[in-house]
């Protein structure tokens, strides 16, 4: 029996025969061809077939408002229509007289490598798109495009897909009923692809070192996304244990869906508000269907990042109003634009930075570009007349930034009042807590805002000095580090002392292992992907306040992330037995 480990998405178990997907490192030999014209014809046929495949995937995703598929496959088509990409492949085939597979891989990998070296999270995602695209071209050249899909009701026939790296467009194509799980040698749990897998409720484990060398197609794989363990051809005892755990989990999920309309109230009467994160107004429908109690995070930057021109006040107003109206009386927290540096907006060219995560982004950019900030605040305020809207400022690191942002908000209110345009004058104002300096001063910040929202994705990387998209330091990036948990507890404590609520809106909010800890330190709200809301609600209802407080105190006294995770796993098991 082999055992490897990585980081799981904590949504169940992947059990099935391994299907190893050939990636960019497939064995391709450079061959000198006698007739380059014939090789060009092969490439042209594969190129046209790839366009048909991508267009079909795009057509399928156009009607799906719950994923990013439309945008991703539009990007693929744009690359296919780019003469610089296609002509470079054709030129290599004709001028160097090489086989089409070699040319596709060489040109594709050069472009992907170039994009991956740009200090931008979004551009780095494009490098993954290029790799996925040229892999699709290679599949068509090999005549290996069709994927055997077992009957969706026959769970015994589903495969655990084993890949070198999770790619967003690859995950988009999958459905929960078609695969038992995903396991990847590379990647981080907060990557775009990993988040998409969670959105689709596909069990996934990433960052599994040595995976591709250890697994071959046909091996039996048991993937435990809670512990992050990947068992390869396990013994009978391990199979029985994991299979029983998987069956219990599925039973639990059915109960979660049946009870999703119920409030999240602990056994001792403490209520935790479970909300949804969205990036577009259309996703508010998914939040409503999941019985989310509000929108804890509307990522407004997507309005800026997905358009070639900057959205004007009217376009933003309509988007925010749509989300607010869909949620009725439930609160919709709109985060002002978190763009710049690592999240470029096509309509807002910015100078390249050596350290984009520490550079001009979020509130820093908003305060520098007061014209854009004012436009956005006016749009949000106008939307507040049509629903329960709150405003949240991202990446606050100093009191001066917060007060300057609030001053611009007052200017926006005054301008609307002068024009006699309706808005909610008492709109709630909050701030994200995602920088250690802000945590340290949270007792003072609590007197300046109506609520805190902890952004764990950035808080982890800033606390641990571990880039959340850098594979080389992926093992260091973990929400289970005692320093991270102590900071979360401190923010909640200081919020309560000043009478304001503390929410969590990062990926950690949906981690079932951390849920009792959050209850124990007094987190008031948790915001996550809409599909995970029912599970979190049921998880809260099973909590006992005193036991959660004891757990929180004990794990904060531990020394390592490994010890913390083991303690949380042990607590989870003890709850199952009781």
Q: What is the pLDDT along the chain (578 residues), one digit of tens a residue?
A: 899 999 999 889 999 999 998 665 567 889 999 999 999 999 999 999 988 888 887 776 655 544 556 667 777 788 888 888 889 999 999 999 999 999 998 998 888 877 766 545 556 667 777 887 888 888 888 876 544 444 444 455 789 999 988 877 678 778 667 799 999 998 888 777 888 888 888 999 999 999 999 999 999 999 999 999 999 999 999 999 999 999 999 998 898 989 999 999 999 999 999 999 998 898 899 999 999 999 999 999 888 876 778 999 999 999 999 999 999 999 999 999 998 655 667 677 777 776 767 888 899 999 999 999 999 999 999 999 999 999 999 999 999 999 999 999 999 999 999 999 999 999 999 999 999 999 999 999 999 999 999 999 999 999 999 887 677 787 889 999 999 999 999 999 999 999 999 999 988 999 999 999 999 999 999 999 999 999 999 999 999 999 999 999 999 999 999 999 999 999 998 887 66
The answer on 197 and 303 residing in a single domain is: no
Residues 6+ apart with CB under 8 A from 550: 520
The question of whether 209 is a catalytic residue gets the answer: no
Provide the CATH number for the domain around residue 539.
Answer: 3.20.20.60
In a domain, 332, yes or no: yes
In a domain, 88, yes or no: no
The answer on 354 and 405 residing in a single domain is: yes
The answer on 409 and 343 residing in a single domain is: yes
In a domain, 76, yes or no: no
In a domain, 329, yes or no: yes
In a domain, 295, yes or no: yes
The answer on 545 and 424 residing in a single domain is: yes
SS (H, E, C) 84-138: HHHHHHHHHHHHHCECHHHHHHHHHHHHHHHHHCCCCHHHHHHHHHHHHHHHHHH
Cα distance between residue 450 and residue 441, in whole Å = 16
The answer on 287 and 183 residing in a single domain is: no
Rounded to 5°, the CA angle 557-563-565 comes to: 105
Provide the CATH number for the domain around residue 223.
Answer: 3.50.30.10
Burial of 455 (0-12, 13-18, 19+ CB in 10 A): buried
The answer on 338 and 214 residing in a single domain is: no
Q: Which of 219, 254, 289 is the last residue in one of the domains?
A: 254
Contact 145, 139 (CB under 8 A): yes
Q: Which of 254, 288, 320 is the last residue in one of the domains?
A: 254
Output the DSSP codes for 498-531: TT-EEEE-SGGGG-TTTHHHHHHHT--EEEE-GG
The answer on 309 and 203 residing in a single domain is: no
Structure tokens at 224: 């435990």
The answer on 401 and 283 residing in a single domain is: yes
The answer on 285 and 242 residing in a single domain is: no
In a domain, 87, yes or no: no
Q: Which of 203, 228, 254 is the last residue in one of the domains?
A: 254
The answer on 552 and 406 residing in a single domain is: yes
The question of whether 192 is a catalytic residue gets the answer: yes
In a domain, 245, yes or no: yes
Task: Report the chain's terminal Cα–Cα distance, integer Å.
Answer: 31
Residues 6+ apart with CB under 8 A from 373: 336, 366, 367, 405, 408
From residue 524, give the alpha-carbon distance in Å to each of 32, 134, 186, 224. Answer: 65, 46, 34, 29
The answer on 168 and 287 residing in a single domain is: no
| Catalytic residue (one of 192, 256, 481, 548) | 192
What is the count of structural domains for the chain?
2
In a domain, 526, yes or no: yes
Output the DSSP codes for 147-177: -----TT-GGG-EEEEEEE--HHHHHT--TT
pTM equals 0.79
Q: Classify strands 331-335 and 229-232 as parallel, antiparallel or unpaired.
A: unpaired
pLDDT of residue 339: 81
| Catalytic residue (one of 10, 291, 505, 543) | 505
Structural domain of residue 14, as residue ranges? Answer: 2-21+150-254
Cα distance between residue 470 and residue 79, in whole Å = 25
The answer on 247 and 320 residing in a single domain is: no
């Amino acid at each position: 029996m082999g055992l490897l480990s990585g980081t799981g998405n904590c949504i169940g178990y992947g059990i099935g025969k391994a299907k190893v997907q050939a990636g960019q490192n497939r064995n391709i030999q450079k061959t000198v061809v006698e007739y380059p014209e014939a090789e060009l014809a092969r490439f042209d046929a594969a190129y046209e077939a790839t366009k048909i495949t991508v267009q079909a995937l795009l057509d399928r995703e156009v009607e799906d408002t719950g994923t990013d598929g439309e945008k991703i496959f539009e990007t693929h088509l744009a690359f296919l229509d780019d003469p610089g990409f296609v002509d470079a492949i054709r030129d290599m085939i004709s001028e160097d007289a090489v086989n089409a597979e070699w040319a596709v891989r060489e040109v594709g990998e050069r472009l992907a490598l170039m994009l991956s070296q740009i200090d931008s999270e979004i551009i780095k995602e494009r490098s993954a798109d290029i790799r996925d695209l040229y892999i699709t071209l290679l599949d068509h050249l090999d005549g290996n495009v069709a994927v055997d899909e077992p009957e969706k009701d026959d769970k015994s026939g589903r495969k655990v897909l084993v890949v070198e790296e999770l790619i967003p467009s690859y995950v988009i194509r999958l459905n929960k009923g078609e695969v038992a799980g995903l396991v990847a040698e590379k990647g981080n749990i907060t990557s775009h692809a990993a988040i998409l897998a969670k959105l689709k409720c596909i069990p996934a484990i990433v960052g599994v070192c040595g995976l591709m060398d250890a697994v071959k197609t046909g091996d039996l794989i048991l993937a435990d996304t809670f512990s992050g363990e990947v068992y390869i051809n396990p013994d009978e005892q391990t199979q029985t244990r994991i299979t029983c755990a998987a069956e219990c989990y599925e039973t639990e999920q059915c109960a979660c869906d049946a009870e999703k309309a119920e409030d999240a109230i602990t056994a001792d009467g403490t209520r935790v508000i479970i909300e949804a994160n969205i990036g577009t107004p259309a996703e508010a429908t998914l939040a409503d269907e999941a019985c989310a109690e509000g929108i804890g995070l509307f990522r407004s930057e997507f309005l800026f990042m997905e358009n070639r021109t900057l959205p004007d006040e009217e376009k933003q107003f309509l988007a925010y109003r749509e989300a607010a109206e869909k949620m009725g009386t439930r609160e919709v927290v709109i985060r002002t634009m978190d763009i710049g540096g690592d999240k470029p907006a096509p309509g807002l060219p910015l100078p390249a930075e050596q350290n984009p995560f520490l550079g001009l982004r979020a509130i820093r950019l908003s305060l520098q570009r007061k014209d854009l900030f004012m436009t956005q605040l006016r749009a949000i305020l106008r939307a507040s007349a049509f629903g329960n809207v709150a405003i949240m400022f991202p990446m606050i690191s100093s009191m001066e930034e917060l007060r300057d942002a609030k001053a611009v908000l007052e200017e926006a209110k005054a301008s609307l009042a002068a024009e006699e345009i309706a808005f909610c004058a008492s709109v709630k104002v909050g701030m994200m807590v995602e920088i250690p300096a802000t945590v340290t001063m949270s007792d003072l910040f609590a007197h300046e805002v109506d609520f805190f929202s902890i952004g764990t994705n950035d808080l982890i990387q800033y606390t641990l000095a571990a880039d959340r998209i850098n594979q080389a330091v992926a093992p260091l990036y973990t929400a289970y580090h005692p320093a991270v948990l102590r900071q979360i507890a401190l923010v909640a404590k200081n919020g309560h002392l000043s009478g304001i609520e503390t929410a969590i809106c990062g990926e950690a909010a949906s981690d079932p292992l951390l849920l009792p800890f959050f209850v124990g330190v007094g987190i008031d709200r948790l915001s996550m992907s809409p599909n995970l809301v029912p599970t979190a609600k049921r998880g809260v209802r099973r909590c006992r306040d005193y036991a959660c407080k004891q757990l929180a105190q004990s794990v904060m006294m531990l020394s390592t992330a490994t010890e913390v995770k083991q303690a949380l796993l042990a607590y989870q098991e003890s709850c199952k037995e009781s």
